[in-house]
Amino acid sequence: MIQERPLPTFQASIAEVSKEEGLRLYEDMVLGRTFEDKCAEMYYRGKMFGFVHLYNGQEAVSTGVIQTMRPGEDYVCSTYRDHVHALSCGVPAREVMAELFGKETGCSRGRGGSMHLFSAKHRLLGGFAFIGEGIPVATGAAFQTKYRRESMGDASADQVTAAFFGDGTTNNGQFFECLNMAALWKLPILYVVENNKWAIGMAHERATSSPKIYKKAEAFGMPGFEVDGMDVLAVRAVVKEAVRRARAGEGPTLIEALTYRFRGHSLADPDELRSKEEKEFWLAKDPIKRLAAYLVEHNLASQEELKGIDQKIQAVVDDAVQFGLDSPEPDPSELRKYIFAED
C-alpha cells in the first residue's frame, strides 16, 4: 500500500489567493526547486563536500509556512534539510550557495556548510544536523518573545516562531518536552512536522506506534492539524490560523504536513528502498505544477508569466553559483573565529 490515509483537502474558499500572492508563492517555490537542482549538479561535479540533503518535492511546506508569516521578522528554526527554508526566509541565494561551497561570503562565513545555515538578519536560527536539536532552540525563541512582551512591556514583541522537523523526530524526547512547555506557557510557536514518510530508510508507519502525528497535540491540549503538504494553498490556510492564534496569545499549534521528498535522503543515498510505484504516486502531486495549474485555471497567471518567473529564477541561481565560485575561502588565520562570542 502506498499510503494509509488520504491527503486532506480544503475548500476553494479557504484557499483563495490573489494574483500577487499566487505569483509570490510560485516564485518562492521555483527558487527552492531550481536552487536544489543546481546543488545536485554542483555536488556531483565535486564543488560541494560532505552531506547535502535536498528539499525537492517539499517546497509547498516551506513556502506555505514562511511566506505566510513575516519573513525576516518572525523566527524560523530548521533541520539539516535547510537550504529552501533559508531562501524562503529571504537569505540571498548568493549567500546560501557560497556557504555550500564553504566560502567566506556564505551566510555562516563558510563555517557551517549545508547543514548549518544561519542568518541573524533574516531570523533564521540555524539548520541542525541532529534531529530534534532545533526544537528546544525554537521553543526558547518563542519564550523570549513572550517574556519581552509580558514581563518587559515590549509591545513590539509579537514575533511568531516556526520549528520545522521531520516525522522521525517526533519519536524523540525533545518533541514531547517542548510541546508540553509551549502549551503550558502558551508560547507563540508553530511546530511543523514535514512528514515525508521516510526517516532516512525507515518507513514512518514502521517507526511509531501512533502514525497520525497531529493527534499527539491532544495530549498537551493544543490544536493539531493535518494538511496536504503538496498543496501550498492548503498549507497557507492552516498556517494563517495558527499564526493568528500565536500573535493573539492563544498559544502553540502542531501542524503535520503530509509531503514527500523526490530525491534520496541525501545526495549520497542511492534511494533503493522506496518503490517505483510510491515515487510515481507522489511525483504526480508535484506542488509546483499543482500551483501553476491552479493559477492558470483561475486566470491569476498565464503560462507566459510563469515561464518568465522560471527564467528569472534560473538567472538568480546561475548568478549565485558564479558568486560562490568566485568568492574567497575563509582565511586560515581565522580558524578559531566565531567559536566564542566576541565583544
| pLDDT for position 342 | 79
Residue 273 lies in a domain: yes
| pLDDT for position 25 | 98
| pLDDT for position 343 | 66
Cell of 219: 495530549
| pLDDT for position 13 | 41
Question: Please, which residues bridge with residue 203 across strands?
Answer: 198
Cβ atoms of 269 and 51 within 8 Å: the answer is no
pTM of the model: 0.94
Total tally of structural domains belonging to the chain: 1
Residue 12 lies in a domain: no
Residue 205 lies in a domain: yes
* CA–CA gap between residue 181 and residue 140 (Å, rounded): 10
Residue 103 lies in a domain: yes
Residue 76 lies in a domain: yes
Residue 2 lies in a domain: no
Cβ atoms of 122 and 91 within 8 Å: the answer is yes
Residue 274 lies in a domain: yes
Backbone angles phi, psi at 224, to 5 degrees: -130, 135
User: Residue 159's closest CA among 137, 136, 141, 134?
Assistant: 141
> Coil, strand or helix: which one is 127?
coil
The strand pair at 198-199 and 202-203 is best described as antiparallel
Residue-number span of the structural domain to which 228 is assigned: 21-285+304-328
CB count within 10 Å of CB 49 equals 12
Q: What CATH number did the domain enclosing 264 receive? A: 3.40.50.970
| pLDDT for position 49 | 87
Residue 27 lies in a domain: yes
From the first residue on, what is the mean pLDDT of each consecutive set of 10 residues in the chain (343 residues)? Answer: 56 70 98 98 93 97 98 97 98 98 97 96 97 97 98 96 97 96 98 96 91 96 97 97 97 98 95 95 97 97 98 98 97 90 76
Cβ-based neighbours of 276, under 8 Å, separated by 6 or more: none
